[in-house]
Amino acid sequence: MPIRERLQQRRFPTLADEAVVSVLVAAEHFTQAVQPIWERHGVTADQYNVLRILRGVHPGGHPRHEIARRMIHRAPDVTRMLDRLAAQGLVRRIRNPEDRRESVATITAAGIALLARLDPEVHAVQRDFTATLTAPELRRLVRLCDALVP
């Protein structure tokens, strides 16, 4: 069903308005589908994102400001989020030997194991969510989204 029908809105003020609303509705639809998975595993969407970021540089890590820069959503307090993940044993924070004011977060074995349990479920939702799109359409969608973000 077209998003226009789902929202029961025959017209949008501009094509740009319709496009932006469509992207937001699609993103929300995906989030609602995957949210129960994250909740079942005891993490939020932002915490899952942080764990994925840190897994990407494992065995290295990132300081707080680099994690914040790479996040999908702007998180107001990455420090507290890292503290919660550390309390769960999913990340470890160590002082940067070159700058004692800065700590570097790394993912732990428990964090990697959690992602290993989460990934198949999240990937299944992603596959279902994008099943109506061909590989060229998916590549085009990626390019279009890239064009929207400065």
Residues 118, 47 contacting (CB under 8 angstroms): no
Which pTM was predicted?
A: 0.86
**pLDDT value of residue 100:** 75
The domain made up of 43-148 has a fold known as Arc Repressor Mutant, subunit A (1.10.10)
In which band, very low, low, confident or very high, does the pLDDT at 14 lie, cut at 50, 70 and 90?
Answer: very high
The CB density around residue 148, as the number of other CB atoms within 10 Å, is 9
The CB density around residue 28, as the number of other CB atoms within 10 Å, is 10
**pLDDT value of residue 3:** 72
Q: What is the pLDDT of residues 84-142, one digit of tens each?
A: 999 999 999 988 777 778 889 999 999 999 999 999 999 999 999 999 999 999 999 99
Residues 25, 60 contacting (CB under 8 angstroms): no
Q: What is the pLDDT of residues 48-97, one digit of tens each?
A: 999 999 999 999 999 998 999 999 888 778 989 999 999 999 999 988 77
Residues 43, 37 contacting (CB under 8 angstroms): no
For the chain, the domains span 43-148
With b meaning 16 or more CB within 10 Å and e meaning fewer, what string describes 93-103? beeeeeeeeeb
**pLDDT value of residue 1:** 66
**pLDDT value of residue 10:** 78
**pLDDT value of residue 76:** 78
Residue 125 identity (one-letter amino acid)? V
Alpha-carbon dihedral sign for residues 8, 9, 15, 18? negative
